[in-house]
Amino acid sequence: MDITDFTAGQRQALLDLVVLTMYMDGNLASIEAARIQQILTAMGLDSPYDRDKEFDASVTRVSRILRIWKPPVPVPPSWHGILPRQSSRGEFTIC
C-alpha cells in the first residue's frame, strides 16, 4: 500500500483503524502484527523504537474512544470481548 501521499492525519487514522480492527476479535494474530509493522514502516518509521512509540500512541487513542463509546443499540454477545472493561482500580482494558 502506498501511503506516501497521505497527510500525517490520514496516516494516523489508517493506523488507528487497523489497530481497532486488530483488537475487535480479542485475538492478536501474527499476520495482524506483521501488517501493523508494514504500515508503520510505510509511514517512514524505520527504527523499532519509533514504530513501537507510534503503535503505543495509536493503541492509546483507540482505547480512549472505546472507553467513552456508548453503543446506540444493545451490544451483541459476540462483541463483549472487545468493549472496555473497568478493573477494580478504575483502569480500563480493551479485551
* C-alpha cell read off for 6: 497521505
Q: What is the pLDDT of residue 95?
A: 43
Amino acid at 72: P
Predicted local distance difference test score (pLDDT) of residue 26:
67
Instruction: Give yes or no for residue 12 having a pLDDT over 60.
Output: yes
User: Which pLDDT band, with edges at 50, 70 and 90, does 58 fall under?
Assistant: very high
What residues pair up with 92 in beta bridges, in sequence order? Answer: 86
Residues 77-91 have a mean pLDDT of 55
Note whether 16 and 56 are within 8 A (CB): no
Q: Show me where the domains of the chain are located.
A: 8-93
Q: Which ranges constitute the DSSP H helices of 1-95? A: 8-24, 30-42, 48-68
Determine what percent of the chain is predicted with pLDDT higher than 90.
25
